[in-house]
Amino acid sequence: MNVEFINPFLSSLVNVLSTMANTTIVPGQPRIKKDEVARGDVSGLIGMVSPQTKGSFSITFEESLAVEIMFRMLGERPKGITADVTDMVGEITNMVTGGAKRILGEKGYDFTMATPVVVSGKNHTISHKSEGAKILMPFDSDFGKVHIEVSFDK
């Protein structure tokens, strides 16, 4: 997988959570994901297609952080992973990939995104089935962790 693809998602997520939810997150060290366990309770997934490659992006929030972001964006504190929270995670998935798409477009990669799907459940697993490595990027915040995963065929 092209390592140029990693930073656009990282910087887009930092930017989206800062501007939309006034939430600061601190990136940890990206690494290759070898297992299938999702690092949290609710995940947004989206497929991405370009003439050069295709792949998938996912973002997984711990429940505590998802609830806090919901509170900061909408002023209401949901009781757990409600349908409103999965809607919000779907929107964040769209915004992060939209930001990454703009940056990747400047590098000559013209991606089209499918629509997001949001998955939740304690101890759910996620396996990206593209041909490339699965890159896992951890982020920490005062309210819990968020992880993103990207995997592309080339």
Binding stretches for its own copies (CB under 8 A): 36, 43, 45-49, 54-56, 58, 81, 83, 86-87, 90-91, 93-94, 112-131, 151-153
CB nearer to its own copies: give 128 or 147: 128
**Minimum separation from the CB atom of position 142 to its own copies (A):** 27
**Minimum separation from the CB atom of position 3 to its own copies (A):** 18
Separation in Å, CA 100 to CA 19, 142, 154: 15, 25, 17
Residue 86 DSSP label: H
Number of residues assigned to the chain: 154
Cα 52 off chain centre by: 22
**Minimum separation from the CB atom of position 12 to its own copies (A):** 18
**Minimum separation from the CB atom of position 114 to its own copies (A):** 2
CB nearer to its own copies: give 23 or 120: 120
Residue 19 DSSP label: H
With a CB cutoff of 8 Å and minimum separation 6, the contacts of 31 are 135, 136
- Number of Cβ within a 10 Å radius of residue 109: 20
CB nearer to its own copies: give 82 or 140: 82
CB nearer to its own copies: give 24 or 80: 80
Please say whether the beta carbons of 54 and 48 come within 8 A. Answer: yes
- Give the integer Cα–Cα distance in Å for 120 and 101: 25
**Minimum separation from the CB atom of position 79 to its own copies (A):** 16
CB nearer to its own copies: give 141 or 149: 149
